[in-house]
Amino acid sequence: MPDAIEFASAVLMHFSLSLADGTLVDSSQDGEPLSFALGDGTLDAGLEALLLGLHAGDRAQFNLAPGQAFGDPDPGNVHPMPRGEFPPEMALAEGAVVEFTTPGGEAVAGTVLAIGDDSITMDFSHPLAGRQLSFQVEIIAVTAPKPPG
């Protein structure tokens, strides 16, 4: 029997990730398949767990409850920011996702929760945290992890 996906397996697959209303979030269907080692951080741990035990040739659809992937929103990640931190020409709307660059050069996404005259309330939880999602996969190839040493 072909190798089943396990931790550290090399996996080649097509996928699509959608919101509950059908809005497509990400997909490899019209491009190159995704290649990664299970556990390397390419996918959220909640999505990776769904792949365990699948084989090359398998197709599956998973409907994820809020928080099952990407976690739940963290109230500690909600921060007011001075309006002056945003370019004046930037069109802001509640629910919009804005990308910031940290002083260390890392890109961080934040979701606009509220817009005031002097401040913008941002949530820096993952933009998909707490969302109901649909995850579809087509496993193309699985290679067993190499033994250590």
For position 100, what pLDDT does the model report? Answer: 87
Band of the pLDDT at 1, cuts 50, 70, 90? low
Assigned domain for 62 exists: yes
Judge whether residue 98 has pLDDT over 80: yes
Q: What is the DSSP secondary structure assignment for residue 145, as one 8-state letter?
A: P
Number of domains into which the chain is organized: 2
Band of the pLDDT at 140, cuts 50, 70, 90? very high
Same domain for 137 and 117: no
Judge whether residue 94 has pLDDT over 60: yes
Same domain for 119 and 90: yes
Assigned domain for 136 exists: yes
> CA 27, CA 12: separation in Å to the nearest integer?
14
Joined together, the tokens standing for residue 19 give 């919101």
- Show the domain range for 100: 75-123
For position 2, what pLDDT does the model report? Answer: 67
143 to 52, 119, 137: CA distances (angstroms)? 13, 51, 17
Joined together, the tokens standing for residue 65 give 């409850």
> CA 18, CA 6: separation in Å to the nearest integer?
25
> CA 38, CA 9: separation in Å to the nearest integer?
6
Same domain for 134 and 118: no
Same domain for 55 and 29: yes
Q: How does pLDDT run across 56-82, given as a tens digit for each residue?
A: 999 999 999 999 999 999 999 999 999
Same domain for 17 and 58: yes
Q: How does pLDDT run across 13-35, given as a tens digit for each residue?
A: 999 999 999 999 999 999 999 99
Same domain for 133 and 63: yes
Assigned domain for 3 exists: no
What is the chain's Cα-based Rg?
19
Same domain for 63 and 133: yes
Assigned domain for 148 exists: no
Q: Torsion over CA of 11, 54, 130 and 102, rounded to 10 degrees? A: -10
For position 149, what pLDDT does the model report? Answer: 66
Give the CATH number for residue 59: 3.10.50.40
